[in-house]
Structure 1
């Protein structure tokens, strides 16, 4: 199972954001794309942040309470982004999910360019496929 790699199971067309995007638009993208978060990209397609449902919920509660004006993604995104590489092992990424408690990682190449995302569900699917294949051979 160690030969399973992120690039075989990652989402190549995930929801992404720009740092200047209004949070309301980002929320719409999350809801429409049925994703728990996404990478914030600069114009060169490098990851500069990460926006999660949790970040959006916190901001929306604050905005509704204080009746604040439009917030931008850059105001609430996390900038300490944990990413994975396309050649990383699915098992290693599964361990990271267990240890770090995140739901989704951006996938970047060695130069930091965004390639896609890998979620807990993607990893679970990869492991399930491998186990089912093993049962068929046994």
Structure 2
């Protein structure tokens, strides 16, 4: 008894990885707005507002990642400053940054990076190579990658 197949002829599949980049480094932002530990909270807040960003990496003079500062960190400082009635114009960010920063590899597949965003609830991941900050991938960058890849196989 012969088994009949109801599937039609299949098109030769092209390997999406050959034609479309899928690495984090292909979609990450390299031209970053960074901060230094000695910057004042007010200057950081002004930069966040002016540049319409929600946070950014904090680096030392050697461009080594030492932390992340976010809108939430600034809001916390505003709240504490008001509660204790202490002006904050001269306060630097070094005590308020998140220091143990999760990073991801620039060679990671963009979809694996998407899973990292889901697992950690982070809005951004810095990318460090040889101890130096080289870029950052955000959730929006992953969305942009998905829009470029739509209609292709999701491998």
Using the size of structure 2 for normalisation, the TM-score is 0.79
The residue that corresponds to 1:34 in the other structure is 52
1:21-55 alpha-carbon deviations (Å, 9 max, x no partner): 00111111111221111111010001011111111
Larger proportion of helix: 1
Question: Which aligned pairs between 1:1-138 and structure 2 lie closer than 5 A?
Answer: 4-69=22-87, 70-109=90-129, 111-132=130-151, 134=152
Deviation at 1:131, TM superposition (A): 1.1
**Pairs aligned (count):** 133
CA contact (8 A) 1:19 1:40 kept: yes
Question: Could you say which structure has the larger radius of gyration?
Answer: 2
Q: Distance in 2 between matches of 1:9 and 1:114?
A: 15
SS of residue in 1 equivalent to 2:75:
helix
Q: Distance in 2 between matches of 1:48 and 1:20?
A: 12
The runs of at least 4 aligned residues of structure 1 exceeding 2 Å deviation read 64-67
Gaps (5+ residues) in structure 1?
none
1:33-85 alpha-carbon deviations (Å, 9 max, x no partner): 21111111010001011111111111112112323233211010011001122
RMSD: 1.7
SS of residue in 2 equivalent to 1:81:
coil
